[in-house]
Structure 1
């Protein structure tokens, strides 16, 4: 074999290796959407008024509607007349892997943007800053987290509420028995059925579950906030073109003044499927996020 042929073979082998490596990676998202004419939206079935189901294959909520606005801008960016939105139900346990492997293009549930997760995925600017709270039965006599000492408290597996629950012990609330639910609905059922004395979760999730329960007056949220968390739309890391379209869409929505109206629609007005009201006014940090949206992680809020 001549030197020229040897060089050609080596070059071909190198190109094959590069192409094979590229093929193993999820395609660039905008190109994938344009080619397929569809986008896969990660959604939750019981994440309060942020993302929930109203029936088989039907999902809605504050974050879902925000994502629908974003998808409209993605459609314009890839110059399509229509995009087919495919819903993918995700859980706290599988949402990040499904975004990483390209199964989900944009996740529109209740995911906290923190530094650890930013190593694996990317986030859009935050439009909702959550407070982790505790729900208890109104007649329990429990008025503060300290009174949960020696009692059973639930949290959802894979959620940041688990860390908030465990922090109670480190803060001196002794003898708390931890019980983990597979999802938020099950966690509330543990409280409802008396198998847990408290349920730790995002405040809006708790408020929504209470509003939709058979007897909302039987439950209350403790005043103390265990943690503050920026909840944001999540998508694959390392795709700057897609992030720019999503970020620009979110920023334009915030500048338009539309976000407070959407918040009022989902958190202060009757919502499907039974017309219940969450009744949770926007807190000061959420309003600040609307005024200056950013993708800064949880740790930036804690450092303030």
Structure 2
């Protein structure tokens, strides 16, 4: 009497397993070869890493890295022509767009951490960032202990939000959290006085300050709240595609080309205003170039 049910259950289990296996079998190179199209996910205001020059125009350190990777993907897919397009992503949708295959390379300012590695994969890190605090130059705030009773801004969907919440917890909940929809809006909250501090990646802070009307009105505080590897996001469970991306990134690091690109974007005048960010590569970024890896944030610590 129970045999039909057992058979039905076995069939259902087999179906679920087969669907799971199908979902796990990602072939990004095949998809790119068939469509002749590569989609690069970009940000419009992620400091010198990824930003817009106007409608449909994006550039920056990570964007240029991804354009170099695109050439290697074209060769790996054996394509005579590859149509590279740009997809604007946000902190809220970037992981989902990589997961569902809409974006092949996400080239913004995404932290590689253990939680995200459950959903996506990452290329070897070429930029190790410190999350820091920006305040007005006239502010008496010198560190996290002075943020009690203050309003602190961050960008929705960024790891900086976790840093702000830790600050609030350490202050007994006496910190008001204010979130901007993107980095530009987050900085605007500080600029207009709605927030006493803005927490973000150090290079984002440095770039936004350099482009502000009066850069001398702001300062970045010394404390590093967390050390984070910023890396290019790619689809998970696709070893063939990851191998191509990793090889391309490692070649840039080992040849010294990544050092030249870093100098171009962080130490020289950049568009659109022709202003220098003025952010030398830190020791951990240089170490990442010397020994490229995709290890997550949890393997790093402030120094």
Normalised to the residue count of structure 1, the TM-score between the two structures is: 0.91
CA distance in 1, matches of 2:78, 2:188: 46
* Residue 74 of structure 1: how far off its partner (Å): 0.5
CA distance in 2, matches of 1:63, 1:117: 19
Counting only pairs closer than 5 Å after superposition, residues 32-181 of structure 1 correspond to structure 2 as 32-172=31-171, 175-181=174-180
- Where does residue 253 of structure 1 map in the other structure? 252
CA distance in 2, matches of 1:275, 1:141: 31
Judging changes above 3 Å, is the alpha-carbon distance between structure 1 residues 140 and 38 closer, same or farther for their aligned structure 2 residues?
Answer: same
* Residue 176 of structure 1: how far off its partner (Å): 1.1
Give per-residue Cα distances to partners, 1:50-84, cap 9 Å, x unaligned. 00001100000000000011111001111112211
CA distance in 1, matches of 2:253, 2:205: 26
CA distance in 2, matches of 1:165, 1:124: 27
CA distance in 2, matches of 1:206, 1:161: 12
- Note if contact 1:135-1:198 (Cα within 8 Å) is conserved in structure 2: yes
Matched, 1:200 2:199: yes
- Note if contact 1:61-1:266 (Cα within 8 Å) is conserved in structure 2: yes
Give per-residue Cα distances to partners, 1:121-175, cap 9 Å, x unaligned. 0000000000001110001222222112111010011100000111113334761
- Note if contact 1:108-1:233 (Cα within 8 Å) is conserved in structure 2: yes
- Where does residue 8 of structure 1 map in the other structure? none
SS in 2 for 1:168: helix
CA distance in 2, matches of 1:21, 1:294: 27
CA distance in 2, matches of 1:232, 1:20: 27
Judging changes above 3 Å, is the alpha-carbon distance between structure 1 residues 284 and 106 closer, same or farther for their aligned structure 2 residues?
Answer: same
CA distance in 1, matches of 2:69, 2:265: 18
Count how many residue pairs are aligned between Structure 1 and Structure 2.
Answer: 289
